[in-house]
Chains A and B, each alone.
Chain A
Amino acid sequence: MLSVNNLVTSYGLIKALKGVSIEAKQGDVTCILGPNGAGKTTLMFTLAGILSEDAGSVSLLGHSLNGLGAPKVLRQGLALVPENRLVFADMSVHENLLAGAFTQSRAMAAQVSDDIDKMYTRFPILKARHDQPAGTLSGGEQQMLALARALMSRPSILLMDEPSVGLSPLIVDEIFAIIKQLNEDGMSILLVEQNATKALQVADYFYLLDQGKVTFSGTPDQLKDDDVIKRAYLGGS
C-alpha cells in the first residue's frame, strides 16, 4: 500500500535518513521503533510532504507522492497525526475538526457534518468539549482531537508519530485501544513508537530505525526473539 524506497532526507549537510526502505501493507498496523534521533519524525514529515526528500521514492496505492507537498499528499490519502499533537490551541474542538476537513469541498458539507458526528461518537469526550478551546484539553484529549482531526480528511493510511509521548499510562492504554479499534475498522496505520511493549499489542509488522537506517524488519514474534531489541526496547535481559 505505502511503499518507501531508499529515502534520503537531509537537514543541510546532515543526512537524517540514509536510504530508508519500508512497506506498509493495507489493513495492517506497521510500527517503526527507534531511539531518539533515529530519524523517525524526519521520516514521518518526509512521507507527509512537510520535508522534501533528496532521493528515493514514496508511493501510496501506486501513486507517487514524491515532491507533492503536504496538502496534495493529504489529498492522495496520507494523513499524519504529528508528535505532540499540534492542535490549534485557540480554536475550538469543533473548529479543529473542521480544519481537518479543509480539503473537502463546499459540496461535501453534509458529508463533513456526518464525519464530525462520527468523530463525536467515536470520541465522546470531544463532543462534550466541542466548543472549548483545544488548548484547554488534557494531553490525552488533545491526542484524541489530533487523531480525529486527521481522520476528518478520510485518509487511506494514517501515520501516527509517537502517540503515547507525554501521556499517563492509563491514557496510553486508551490511545492504543483506539488504535486497535481503528485498525479493526479497516484503517491502515503506520505507527512510530518508542514504547515497544504497547506497540506489540497492536502492530502486525515492525521496523527498527537507527541513525537514519533500517536495522531490523520482522513480525512481532521475530522482534521478541531478537536479543538486542529485547534488551533495548522490551526490558529483557
Chain B
Amino acid sequence: MNFDHIDIIQSLIDGVLFGSIYALIGLGFTLIFGAMHKLNLAYAASGIAGAYAGLMSLTILGLPALMAFFIGPITAGIIGLLLYFACFRFMPRGNHLAPLMASIGALFFIDEVIIHETSGSPLSFPAVLPDAYFFLGEFGIRGDLLIVMGFSFILMAIVMLLLYRTKLGLGTRATSQQPVAALLCGIPTHRTNGTTFVLAGVLGGFAGCLLAASVGVLSPLLTLPLTIKGLIVTVIGGLGSIRGAIIAGFAVGAAEGLFLLVRGVNERDIYVFLLLFLFLVFRPNGLFGTTINRD
C-alpha cells in the first residue's frame, strides 16, 4: 500500500465533498420516510430522470447550461408527485409491502424509459467550473465539488427553514408523527404528503444534476447505485432523522473516498455496502434514529 497521510486526508476531503450529493439523496429519502414511514425506492431514479430532463432542455431546446439545474429539479418534483399518487396515495394503509413493491416497479419503469430513450448510452452532462482547482496547503480541492457542496448546504438550509419555520413544515412534521392527530388539527395530510414528495423530488432532481455535473456524464447505470447509496445513508443516519441523513451522507462520502484509496475502485462499493450490514446488525436505529410511536 503506497500512500501516506496526505493521500488519506486528500481522499477524505474528496469523499466529504462528494458526500454532499449523498446527503441530499438521503435527506429526500428521509423526508418521504418521515412523512409516511414508507420507503420510496424510485426516489433516486426520479432524481436521475429529472437530470435527464434538464439535459434534454439543453440539447433539444438549446437553453443555457444552468437551466438544467432549474428544469431538472422541477421535472423530478413532478415525477415525485406522480410517484406519490401511483405508489402510495391509494395503497391500503396497513399494507406496507404494497407501496414498497410499487416503488420498486416504478424504479425499473423509470430506468427502462431512460434506457429506451437513450439506447442505454451515457450522455455528456455539462460540468460546473470544470477547470477550477484550488490548493489548500498540500491538499487540492476540486472547484466543481466545492460548488456542489455549497449548493447542497443551501438546499439543506432551505429544507430546514421550510420544515421548522413555515406552516407547511409544521403540518409536515405533525403528519409524520401522528397522522390521525394531524387530521384532527385540520391538517390536510394527503396534501401535506403530496407536497413532501414534491419537495423531496426537487431535492433529488438537484442531486441528480449535481451528480451528473460532477462526474461529467449521465447514464441509466447511475440510478441503482444512487438508490442504494441513498438507502445506506438513510439507514446509517437513522430512518426518519434529517440530521442523521445529512451527517451520514458526508460520512458515507468520506468512507467511500477512503475505500477508493485503500482498496481501489473495483472494491470500493463492497466496503460501503458492508457498512450498511454493520449498522443493521450493531446499530439498527442508525446514528440518530429513534423509535416513534404513531397512532
Residue A153 at the chain B interface, CB threshold 8 Å: yes
B interface secondary structure, majority: helix
Residues on the B chain within 8 Å of A82, using CB? 180-181, 184, 295
Inter-subunit contact A75/B186 (CB<8 Å): yes
Question: What sequence of 0s and 1s flags, for each residue 72-88 of chain A, a beta carbon within 8 Å of any chain B beta carbon?
Answer: 00110001101010111
Q: For chain B, which range describes its interface: under 10, 10 to 19, 20 to 34, or 35 or more residues? A: 10 to 19
Is the CB–CB distance between B183 and A98 below 8 Å?
no
Q: Is the CB of B173 within 8 A of A90?
A: yes
Per-residue B-contact encoding for A86-120, CB less than 8 Å = 1, 0 else: 11111100010011101100100000000000000
**A70 lies within 8 A of B186 (CB):** yes
Q: Establish whether residues B173 and A71, one from each chain, have CB atoms under 8 Å apart when the complex forms.
A: no
**Of the residues B167, B181, B187, B188, contact of A87 by C-beta under 8 Å:** B181
Q: Which of A74, A88, A89 touches B186 (beta carbons < 8 Å)? A: A74
Cβ of A202 under 8 Å from chain B = no
Q: Does any Cβ of A come within 8 Å of B157's Cβ?
A: no
Cβ–Cβ contact A89 & B187, under 8 A = no
Residue tally, chain A, CB below 8 Å to B: 28
Q: How many Å lie between the Cα of A127 and that of B173 in the bound state?
A: 22
A189 is an interface residue with CB less than 8 A from chain B? no
- On chain B, the residues within 8 Å of A98 by CB distance are 170
CB proximity of A146 to chain B, nearest CB, Å = 8
A179 contacts chain B at the CB level, 8 A cutoff? no
Residues of B within 8 A of A24 (CB): none
Q: List, in ascending order, chain A residues with CB within 8 A of B167's CB.
A: 102, 106
**Cα-based distance from A91 to B176 in the complex (angstroms):** 11
Residues of A within 8 A of B177 (CB): 88-91
Closest CB in chain A relative to B232 CB, distance in Å: 24
Using a CB–CB cutoff of 8 Å, the interface residues on chain A facing chain B are 48-50, 69-71, 74-75, 79-80, 82, 84, 86-91, 95, 98-100, 102-103, 106, 149-150, 153
A-B contact list, 13 entries, CB within 8 Å: A49-B183, A50-B183, A50-B184, A69-B183, A71-B183, A82-B184, A86-B184, A86-B295, A88-B174, A89-B292, A95-B173, A99-B187, A102-B170
What residues make up the interface of B, taking CB atoms closer than 8 Å to A?
167, 170-171, 173-174, 177-178, 180-188, 292-293, 295
